[in-house]
Structure formats: structure tokens, C-alpha cells
Structure 1
Amino acid sequence: MQDRILQSWPFNPAPQLVADIGGTNTRVALADGGVLRQGSIRKYPNAGRASLTEILQQYMGETATTECSGICVAAAGPVRDGVARMTNLSWEITAEDLAQVAGTDRVAILNDLQAQGHALKSLDARHVRVLLEGKPASEAATQLVVGAGTGFNAAPVHHGAQGTLVAASECGHIHLPRHGEQENALAIHLAQKHGIATVEEVLCGRGLVALHQWVSGKEMAGDALTAAIAAGDPATQETGQLYARLMGRTLATLALVHLPFGGIFLIGSVARAMAPNLVELGMGEAFREMGRFSPMMAEFPVAVVEDDYAALLGCAAHLVSLLR
């Protein structure tokens, strides 16, 4: 009896396989019970790859992973009826393909923003920078994830007795706020150029670059522009202030739609780059400038997530919730 116990202990169940698929790179990791295995994260360039399957097979070979207890991937693109179509790649990701490569019937495909939403309850507080204080809320309070990077989008995060639900959306294509002459002139310019003035055309990476060109008449690369704004370069401050105000107004609109008393969480490369300066550039005033609803706006905390692997963590957490 003792020999049989020794032979079966310790018990190491098959890991979860999780992946975060961006437009340029794919990150892959193993997880156990919703916790990422230390040292298991690897990043692969998407260029030259025919499909996600090719990357996952390479990862499993490199890590000697032969069995998975589940697989969940986060895709930078719309997911419908269990199929993800990448916005900036020709890949189509299906549950059937994932089940075959991972050898499991426990499969989930999420939009990348949904994965970020599932990660919120598991984030280390050291990776969350508070921008605007709010009022304390219950654990079940709705939260909102807002992504500003290659594109712009937002997703509400609802916590209930059956687990966490992150609703998909395309919030980046709502109308741009137009408060005052400058914002109205910008909206007219964007509508003439794109047929509609949306928040994505200002608040994402290419939007910030285009905004600076509209404001100053000069072209500047995105990384150099955010660095100049952060350094207080006078030639970029008007652009930074306009960006911050429009971010504040957009967040305020989304807050009143979803009532995220549990907090608004900014994610994405542009959000992280601009975060240290957004408040001093005027985001807070614009966020709380909502007429008779201004007192309510002070109840919503706003923070930025500074964890590059949050989407992987969210995938792992979602797989655990599927077991309940």
C-alpha cells in the first residue's frame, strides 16, 4: 500500500496552455489552476507563420508538453461563434484546431480585451497604477477594461455567482466627443477624412500620431511623441492636453453607460506610455466635467494596468472558471 502511495505522489496534473496573440507577436505559457508557471512564458514573432497552430506546436515541442488539461487563447480581433479572425493577420482560429493541437476538449477563445477583464481579480497590486481615486466598492461591482494601443476598445466586466462575464464590444468606433471649438474642429476633420469621427482615430497609437500632425502640422513617430510629451516638450504639450481631455471625456461616457464602480482599468501600449502624465494634462477634469452627474464621476476609480502578461493570466483564470 505504501509503495503504491509513493509511486503516485506528488500528483502533477496536465497544465493549461494559454496564449496571447497580438498583431506582431504571440506569447504562450503554461498554467496550473489559474497560476502561470514561472519561466514558462515565451514570445514568438507572427511574421512568416501560416497559423497559430504552428506556434503552439513549436512551443509544446520546446517545453516537452505532451498533454494539456485545457487551452485558452486571447486574440486581437473579433470572436464570433467560437471562431477568431485576427484584425492584422490572415489567421482564422477555431476551437477544433485548438482542441487538436492541445489534445483536450476544454477549449476557450477570447477577444484580447475579454482576457484582460478576466485577469483583473488576479492582478498583483504592484502592477496597477492608480490615476484617479474613487470610492470603495464591493467585490461584485462592475469593472471596465479600456484598451488603448494598436486600436481602441472597451469591455465591461461583470462578477456574479456563476463567475466572471466579460462582454465583447467595439467601443472604439463610437462618436468622438466634441466639447468646444477645437474638439469640434477635430471631429469635422476626422469625419471628412474617414466618413465618421470615432474615438479610435484619436486615442489609439496611430490616432495620437495623427492628432499631433493635425495640431502642429508636423509628423512624429509614436514612441518619440509619447516620450516628448512625458518630458514636457513645449512643441507636444497641446497634443498631449487634447489627447488627455478626449480620453477623459470618452472614459466618462463609457462610465455612465456601464457604471463600473469597481474601477476603470486602462491597458495597452499607448495607455501605459501616456499614463504618468494623463492627469496633469487634464484627463481628470475632463472625466469629471459631466454637469449634474459630475459628483457621480468622482465615485469611479481609474487606473492603468502595467502587467505585460495580464492577458495570459486572464486566459488561465477563465479556464479555471469553466470547471465550476
Structure 2
Amino acid sequence: MKKRSTTPSILVGDIGGTRTRLSLYDGRGKTLLLEAVLPSREHATFDEIALRFLSSASHPHPTVAVLGVAGPIRDRVATVTNLPWKLDERQLARKLSIPEVVLANDLAVAAAGCLHLPAEVALALDDRKPTPKGNHMAVIAAGTGLGEARLVWDGSKHLVLPTEGGHTDFAPRTPLEIELWHYLSNRFPDHVSYERVLSGDGLGALYDFFASRGGREPRAIARKLEQGDRNAAIAELGLARAYRPATRAVDLFASIYGAEAGNLALKELALGGVFVAGNIARHIVPARRELFLEGFRKKGRFSALMSTIPVVVVTDPLVGVRGALAMARDLIAAREGASPQPKRAVKKTVKKAAKKKRSG
């Protein structure tokens, strides 16, 4: 039997409506020991995934876990927005036999990761680089849901604060978008939010809107959309300008995404920069940067100010892992009475990020 290492380890996780990623690192957070990416909806609870993952490790049990959760967290309990899961820090610590478990909003974790990005995974849309020191910043990410988070400068460091701003009301800007709102209100009579437009099946909804205004869908297009990931197929067709409804859907998606990123920048006065993360950003935003930036900057009397705010696309799919590791290292440093590394929030900040809830 393989002998287990005696070096402490760190568990970090990214719990989303589609996939759950778990990673086990050494106690310094430098070396990846074990990793798994599992489909969330195929498991009844997070405990089921975590216990199976930990039991497969030939390494010591972790002493701390930081788990990013796609949903609000209140009183140390997280509700996953697009899954019937509830996670409780205290229960998880007991069930997983981990002394310290911290649940943090997934965008708060990603935001923490944005503070530690190497230059090669940060694509500036207009060649302006973020200016973190002395400025607030913001993070937005469209995926299964639409996440938004704040990086608030407190005079010496950034405090990471989650929001649920993706659930704010979708605000049409043009006659076409007013028509889109009416179309979506029939599909989602409870609430038409930015998340309904920009995440999950949002791109598919935009495609359906434009397809309903045109002629009959060609059989070849219908077959392509029936195979595999429908949204990915629409994005491929739209980016290649291979089918007009898909092209218009991608273009409008980029414009509305830019507009909401600009709304976030205004609400947070994020003069230091806005980070755009998530799989959709990596594929669509750079290809439609002009439309995105036009939507971002077109804010009437504040258009000139908006043109000075850096916008950066995060091309690193593991930015959340970076953030979770930074948080975990701060927890360990605080527990051991050491000073955290520069630019990292102390334990109090991590707890704030884990507990604060902003719903829209």
C-alpha cells in the first residue's frame, strides 16, 4: 500500500450548477496533488462528491477547505442557485472531518483570483491595464449563471464582496431590446433579469428571438443545434457569421453583456478596472470587443469617464482556484499567527466575503 504523506493539504472547490471542480493542494498551495471535475446534476448532494473525492486521495486529510459556491451565502449556509443543494459550513466540517471549512460566493472567489493574475491570462480589450492600488474594481462572469462581485479598496488592500447583481432587472436600451424584453417576459413571466439574457440558455433565447422573426430554420442548422451543446453551436455559427439569426444573437449578446458590465462599473465606481471572466467571455467577448466596449461605454454624460476604465478578459479558466487558494493561505496564516502575503485579505475579509449576501 502506498504510504500517505504527512504534509498538510488544502481542499479548494468550485461548485456550480453544471460542474463541480475539486482540487487538493499541498499545505503551501503550490503543488496540485489531486483534481476531479464532476457533473453536479448527477449527484444528490455535494457531500457525496466530496467524500468520494477525498477517499480516493493518497494524501493526508486537508486542514482547511475553501469552496466557491454559485449562489448566495447567509449565516454560513449556501444555496446553489441552479441546483437543489444546500451547504452548511459546520455540517461540512463535521462530515468531511476538516477542521475549517469556508463557503464563499463563487464570484467572490474569482474576484480574489483576479488580484493574482499573471499578465498572460489577462487580455486588455483596449490596451488599458488595471490600476488596482487606490481604486475599486469589479468582476462579472457569465456562465450557468451571471455572477458579479466587488473589489473595494479600503486604503491598504481590496476587500472582496459578493453580490447577486446578475438578478437585477434587464433594462432594454433600444426598440429592438424592448421587443426582446416582451419576448422573454412570455418565457419567464416571473422575472426578466440580466441573468436570463446573459447566462445559462440566454444565448439560446436570443437566437430563438431572432429565429422567430425570420423564415423557416434550414434543416442543416436544426440538426447542428440538436447535437451536443446548443449554446456552443449557436456561438460557433454566430461568430463565423454562418447563419443570420445566430450572428444577430451573438452580436446582441456581446452588446448587452458590455452594457451590464458598464452598469456594474458605474454602480461600484470601479475606476481601477472591470474583469470579465467565465467561459463565454473567453470565446465571444474578444471576437466582438467593439460591440462589447460600445455597450460598456455608452452611458450618456458618463461616456467619457467610462472610456477611461480598463476592461480585462480573464482567459484563465482556473481563476477561481487561484482565489480559493489565496483565501485558504490567508486562513492558515491567520491561524498560525503569521502575516498574510501582500495584497491578500485577512481572515476577517474572507469571512465577510463568505457571509455577505446581496440579492436582486
Structure 1 residue 262 corresponds to structure 2 residue 272: yes
Alpha-carbon contact 1:135-1:298 (below 8 Å) kept = no
Deviates more, 1:164-173 or 1:153-162: 153-162
Deviations 1:4-55 (A, max 9, x none): xxxxxxx974121111112232211123466352353222333443422232
What is the correspondence of 1:264-283 to structure 2 with a 5 Å cutoff? 264-280=274-290, 282-283=291-292
The one-letter code of the counterpart of 1:199 is Y
Alpha-carbon contact 1:53-1:97 (below 8 Å) kept = no
Equivalent residue, structure 1, for 2:301: 292
Q: Following the alignment from structure 2 to structure 1, what is the Cα–Cα distance between the partners of residues 284 and 122?
A: 14
Q: Following the alignment from structure 1 to structure 2, what is the Cα–Cα distance between the partners of residues 285 and 45?
A: 36
Equivalent residue, structure 2, for 1:6: none
SS at match of 1:40: strand
One of 39, 42, 55 as aligned partner of 1:61: 55
Equivalent residue, structure 1, for 2:207: 212
Equivalent residue, structure 1, for 2:108: 114
Q: Following the alignment from structure 1 to structure 2, what is the Cα–Cα distance between the partners of residues 206 and 36?
A: 36
Deviations 1:206-254 (A, max 9, x none): 1111111111225742111111122122513222222222122212111
Equivalent residue, structure 2, for 1:7: none
Q: Following the alignment from structure 2 to structure 1, what is the Cα–Cα distance between the partners of residues 300 and 132?
A: 26
Deviation at 1:133, TM superposition (A): 3.7
Structure 1 residue 226 corresponds to structure 2 residue 235: yes
SS at match of 1:28: strand
Deviation at 1:72, TM superposition (A): 0.9
Q: Which sections of structure 1, spanning at least 5 residues, go unmatched?
A: 1-10
Q: Which sections of structure 2, spanning at least 5 residues, go unmatched?
A: 335-345, 347-360
SS at match of 1:87: coil
SS at match of 1:35: coil
Structure 1 residue 169 corresponds to structure 2 residue 134: no
Q: Following the alignment from structure 2 to structure 1, what is the Cα–Cα distance between the partners of residues 128 and 308?
A: 4
Alpha-carbon contact 1:133-1:300 (below 8 Å) kept = no
Deviates more, 1:53-62 or 1:289-298: 53-62
Q: Following the alignment from structure 2 to structure 1, what is the Cα–Cα distance between the partners of residues 156 and 99?
A: 21
Q: 1:46 to 1:198 in 2, by over 3 A?
A: closer
The one-letter code of the counterpart of 1:311 is G
Alpha-carbon contact 1:177-1:250 (below 8 Å) kept = no
Deviation at 1:110, TM superposition (A): 0.8
Structure 1 residue 139 corresponds to structure 2 residue 133: yes
Q: Following the alignment from structure 1 to structure 2, what is the Cα–Cα distance between the partners of residues 303 and 184?
A: 29
Q: 1:289 to 1:25 in 2, by over 3 A?
A: closer
Q: Following the alignment from structure 1 to structure 2, what is the Cα–Cα distance between the partners of residues 204 and 186?
A: 15
Q: Following the alignment from structure 2 to structure 1, what is the Cα–Cα distance between the partners of residues 209 and 78?
A: 35
Alpha-carbon contact 2:277-2:315 (below 8 Å) kept = yes
Deviations 1:166-224 (A, max 9, x none): 22222122222322211222223323443443212211131111111111225742111
Deviation at 1:256, TM superposition (A): 0.7
Structure 1 residue 242 corresponds to structure 2 residue 252: yes
Equivalent residue, structure 1, for 2:79: 85
Equivalent residue, structure 2, for 1:43: 37
Deviation at 1:74, TM superposition (A): 0.9
TM-score (norm 1): 0.87
Deviation at 1:163, TM superposition (A): 5.3
Q: 1:312 to 1:300 in 2, by over 3 A?
A: same
Equivalent residue, structure 1, for 2:355: none
Q: Following the alignment from structure 1 to structure 2, what is the Cα–Cα distance between the partners of residues 169 and 53?
A: 25
Q: Following the alignment from structure 1 to structure 2, what is the Cα–Cα distance between the partners of residues 27 and 33?
A: 19
Deviations 1:285-306 (A, max 9, x none): 2222222211100121112222
CA RMSD of aligned residues (A): 2.4
Deviations 1:64-97 (A, max 9, x none): 2333231111112221110112223322211123
The one-letter code of the counterpart of 2:328 is L
SS at match of 1:262: coil
Deviates more, 1:111-120 or 1:299-308: 299-308
Alpha-carbon contact 2:7-2:27 (below 8 Å) kept = no
Q: 1:18 to 1:249 in 2, by over 3 A?
A: same
Q: 1:120 to 1:136 in 2, by over 3 A?
A: closer
One of 251, 270, 274 as aligned partner of 2:261: 251
Deviation at 1:136, TM superposition (A): 5.4
Q: Following the alignment from structure 2 to structure 1, what is the Cα–Cα distance between the partners of residues 317 and 40?
A: 18
Q: 1:12 to 1:120 in 2, by over 3 A?
A: farther
One of 328, 333, 343 as aligned partner of 1:319: 328
